[in-house]
Amino acid sequence: MIHLKTCPICDCHELHPLLSTVNRYDENFASHRNAEINHILKNVLDIDEVQISALQCQECKHLFLSPTFSQQEIERLYSTQSAEQMHVFYQKAEQHSGRSYQEETCSVSGNRSEELSFRQQFIRDVVLNFRKKDIGKLLDIGGANGENILLFKQAQKYVYDLDLRPENLAPEVEGTSSIAEVQQLAPFDLLISTHTLEHIVSPKAMISDYTAFIREGSLFYIEVPSEYLSILMKHYLSRFRETRVDIHWHINFFSPSSLKRLMEQCGFRPLYVKTHLMPYNDLSMRVIVGVFEYTGAPQSFSPRFNPVWWQEFANDFLQTLYLKGHRKLLGTAPKPKPFSI
């Protein structure tokens, strides 16, 4: 395990622990989230007990877990066997905790083909709202079989995935697991990354690396789970009763402002950053969606992108109430308005 001494987004040294708990391996934990923790303790780490903390950066308010996985542990975590086991545990945990929430919020959830068509349409509509001309070439990073990008009809569509299975690729999509090949195909007009940055120890390094494959004016669509509120709520509840922070294969818990901050640091201008409900694997997941434009040069930070956490909480809460009143989401992907700067 490695201790993160600086914020993974803004490199600030001032980190405030919100929650801290000792996670121990326990043979008796057999179900749900505890099984996932046990799996990490038993198969990924060299120790069977770890004190984990949720840290908050005092500069950009980003939340993350520390200590976190070393490179060797990351490899063990995502080796095929581990990943499959983790997926089973994760599904169990979500079925246990998410069912009633899902039924309340999104009528699309639970039907895989409707979920997929919703996501395809959503990504295309959000991106094309900011790019009227055709996307020439696009790359979905970690895009598996490429099914999320099929509705970009005119574009040359590529996926980059480390354990790519070419036989599963969707028609009209080409794939590679070689970063050298990605470099040869560059520049891209659009990069897509969904549900990846939360797993990365240094998201800033990852985004910076990808700026080598785009040009000024290229877009980056990013989707990450919105989980920071649950950590904040646990932190505030801990004044009244015992709450835990558990080791998790997610390292980063983004808020809209920390995602914006990350992208600005890497030379992007935020066009749109908002929380949405997304149907995903039989659930409605709350996700943060961002569309960013590469400006070709890093920009300096502006404090107006750094709202205090309760403003974000209020926005999210109101948005959830609004979405509960709109249960027929299928076929009505949102028409986002440009993010005002």
Binding site for Zn ion (CB under 5 A): 7, 9-10, 12, 57, 59-60, 62
Nearer to Zn ion, 7 or 283 (CB): 7
Strands 156-160 and 173-176 come out as parallel
Smallest separation, CB 291 to Zn ion (Å) = 22
Smallest separation, CB 255 to Zn ion (Å) = 11
Q: Residue 56 carries which side chain, given as an amino acid letter?
A: Q
Nearer to Zn ion, 2 or 12 (CB): 12
Nearer to Zn ion, 119 or 260 (CB): 260
Smallest separation, CB 15 to Zn ion (Å) = 8
Nearer to Zn ion, 202 or 320 (CB): 202
Read off the tokens for 153.
Answer: 């009809």
Whole-angstrom Cα distance, residue 32 to residue 202? 28
Smallest separation, CB 177 to Zn ion (Å) = 32
* Gyration radius (Cα) of the chain, Å: 20
Smallest separation, CB 149 to Zn ion (Å) = 31
Q: Which residue has the tokens 């920071």?
A: 228
Nearer to Zn ion, 7 or 190 (CB): 7
Nearer to Zn ion, 7 or 44 (CB): 7
Whole-angstrom Cα distance, residue 250 to residue 60? 19
Whole-angstrom Cα distance, residue 175 to residue 164? 7
Nearer to Zn ion, 9 or 86 (CB): 9
Nearer to Zn ion, 16 or 165 (CB): 16
Whole-angstrom Cα distance, residue 216 to residue 187? 10
Smallest separation, CB 306 to Zn ion (Å) = 10
Smallest separation, CB 302 to Zn ion (Å) = 15
Read off the tokens for 40.
Answer: 């990490």
Smallest separation, CB 289 to Zn ion (Å) = 21
Whole-angstrom Cα distance, residue 165 to residue 145? 7
Smallest separation, CB 202 to Zn ion (Å) = 13
Exposed/middle/buried for residue 242 (C-beta within 10 Å: 0-12, 13-18, 19+): exposed
Handedness of CA 44, 283, 113, 194 (dihedral sign): negative
Residue 258 · residue 60 · CB < 8 Å: yes
* DSSP assignments along 213-263, one per residue: GEEEEEEEEEEEE--HHHHHHHHHHTTTS-------S--EE--HHHHHHHH
Strands 283-294 and 214-225 come out as antiparallel
Nearer to Zn ion, 11 or 75 (CB): 11
Whole-angstrom Cα distance, residue 228 to residue 312? 10
Q: Could you tell me how many residues make up the chain? A: 341
**340 DSSP assignment:** P
